[in-house]
Amino acid sequence: MEYIFRILRFDPLKDKSPYFKDYRYQTPETKSTLEALMDIRNEQDCTLSFRYSCREAICGSCGMVINGEFDLACRSMVESLGNNLIVIEPLPNLEIEKDLVVNMDPFWEALDKVDPCIQSIDKAPEKGYRIEENEMEKIWQFINCILCGCCYSACPVASRDERYLGPAALAKLNRFVRDPRDKRPFLSWSKVNTEAGLWGCDTIFKCNDVCPKEVRPADGIEALRRKLVVEKIKRIFKLKR
């Protein structure tokens, strides 16, 4: 089977603007888009740049846009793309460092702002923590996030407002706030009670559509909004008593 891989190329050191370059690619075997890109780089053009690591849809490094759809190159199979012309572009709304490699700094900086790790003042129990199944059910969906950046890159709010924390960071905050081991004070997590945080989301649900791991980040944002309102009401009633 022969394919044309139309890949967006851009080297800021020598190109004025991004452009598409076509590569003819033949394979008798079933290959992932990532494997095809590696073959093209190894056999046709060693200057082609893209990120990858695990090759198993775990590390989140290979997010890109394949025939107009956000996906992980390592889990998208060339055969199943249903077309001989395969158009590959880097994640949008992030600066291109080279070809399919984008600058993920805004994504990591947003994530850092929500303190994405367990905040506990308790000493860990000798036999480790035990989380009940019903508590795990509330956070399992969000634990699956592999931080590929597809949701952030697809989010129309993040694309127009650089202050917005974005779907991945807010869903991750929801994951920790709902974890029974996490003891962060209300004041610490409610700092996202802002236009650049929880209330920035336009509920367009693009993040839910593009997530390759079905995390549905917008569900996390909604859940966190509800929790914030409930906590506020509890506080008001407590103060009045």
Binding-site ranges for ligand FES (CB under 6 A): 52-55, 57-62, 72, 74
Identity of the residue, 59 or 101, whose beta carbon is nearer to ligand FES in the bound complex: 59
Identity of the residue, 50 or 189, whose beta carbon is nearer to ligand FES in the bound complex: 50
- Determine contact, residues 74/31, Cβ cutoff 8 Å: no
For the bound state, the minimum distance from the C-beta of residue 30 to ligand FES, rounded and expressed in Å, comes to 17
- Determine contact, residues 203/157, Cβ cutoff 8 Å: no
Identity of the residue, 62 or 86, whose beta carbon is nearer to ligand FES in the bound complex: 62
Identity of the residue, 8 or 59, whose beta carbon is nearer to ligand FES in the bound complex: 59
For the bound state, the minimum distance from the C-beta of residue 29 to ligand FES, rounded and expressed in Å, comes to 19
Max Cα-Cα span within the chain: 74
Identity of the residue, 72 or 102, whose beta carbon is nearer to ligand FES in the bound complex: 72
Q: Which structure tokens are listed for 238?
A: 């407590």
For the bound state, the minimum distance from the C-beta of residue 37 to ligand FES, rounded and expressed in Å, comes to 11
For the bound state, the minimum distance from the C-beta of residue 75 to ligand FES, rounded and expressed in Å, comes to 7
For the bound state, the minimum distance from the C-beta of residue 39 to ligand FES, rounded and expressed in Å, comes to 15
